Amino acid sequence: MDALRSTLQPLTHSLPAPIRDLGTSLIGPDCYKRLILDIDLTSTTCLRLAVSKTLGVATVAGSSVVKVPQIIKLLSSQSGAGVSFLSCALETCALVTTLAYSARNGFPFNTYGETAMIAAQNVVISLLVLRYTGRTALAAVFVAALASAGYSLFNEGVVDMQALTYAQMGAGLLGVASKVPQVWTIYREGGTGQLSAFMVRPVFNYVFGSLTRIYTTLQEVDDRLILSGFVGGFVLNLVLAAQMVYYWNSPATASHAGEIGQKSADIAMGSSTGASTKGKGPTTRRRG
């Protein structure tokens, strides 16, 4: 360890000022000195904090693109099959509430930053689903309602802290409930629709992200409301991941499979009719 320390310390002591400032702001001056400058790994408190910060920053960074594959899939297919608007809308409401609650409580951004990233992507997905399912009029109502709710939750003059706490209690339940329509949609249609292929990695990222958030909340945020929401989200994300695995080889949703079956039957019927007509052809009378 001494040899490693003597090798690394010249590097850690000559880090650029922006990196030093970032490290100090994340883990504090004491832990920065212990872990980075002194290369002292005996402090379990500082180690747990450093792991929590690293996981938190990685989660926020990953969440900025986690739903981009699904957005691309929706745009390319021009279909909202298998994607529940209700699920997206409920999840977005829960995320906006948690974002306001965490920000107004002064929690470290690395413990909740992904809520803003995912909420923004959810709005795009919701609008695309509404467009492709012929409910464009509802899109304007959805955006207006979301903007009004966001303004109210962030404005202490409109929603005080006690009311926001009650709202967060509901958001925890809403976050869990938001997964239920998606789980039901996949089960009802017998497949994952537009969630398939491009969404395999994001769905499993959600499982990892929820698990990460449980850890970072335990380490940095003493709030059972936030913790219970992440625990519930982890369980439902695990169910979605299990569905992805179970329906992975499903060629189509049940409704789409029915359409394919009907088209196949029509083609077969047409072929049969054509063959029958061709075989009968015009007949000529033989003269004796």
State the residue for tokens 């219970």: 228
266 in a structural domain: no
pTM of the predicted model as reported, rounded to 2 decimal places? 0.69
* Tens-digit pLDDT profile for residues 213-247: 899 888 888 888 888 888 888 888 888 888 877 87
How far, in Å, CA of 97 to CA of 92, rounded? 9
Domain hosting residue 207, numbered range: 50-248
How far, in Å, CA of 234 to CA of 208, rounded? 8
97 in a structural domain: yes
Coil vs helix vs strand at 142: helix
103 in a structural domain: yes
281 in a structural domain: no
3 in a structural domain: no
221 in a structural domain: yes
36 in a structural domain: no
**DSSP 8-state class, residue 109:** G
* Tens-digit pLDDT profile for residues 126-184: 999 999 988 888 999 999 999 999 999 999 899 999 999 999 888 878 777 767 777 77
* Tens-digit pLDDT profile for residues 84-131: 888 888 889 989 999 999 999 999 898 899 899 999 999 999 999 999
Query: Which runs of consecutive H residues, i.e. helices, occur in the chain?
Result: 2-12, 17-32, 44-63, 68-77, 85-105, 114-132, 136-154, 161-177, 179-189, 200-220, 224-246, 254-280
How far, in Å, CA of 199 to CA of 11, rounded? 41
**DSSP 8-state class, residue 155:** -
* Tens-digit pLDDT profile for residues 41-55: 888 999 999 999 999
Our count of domains for the chain comes to: 1
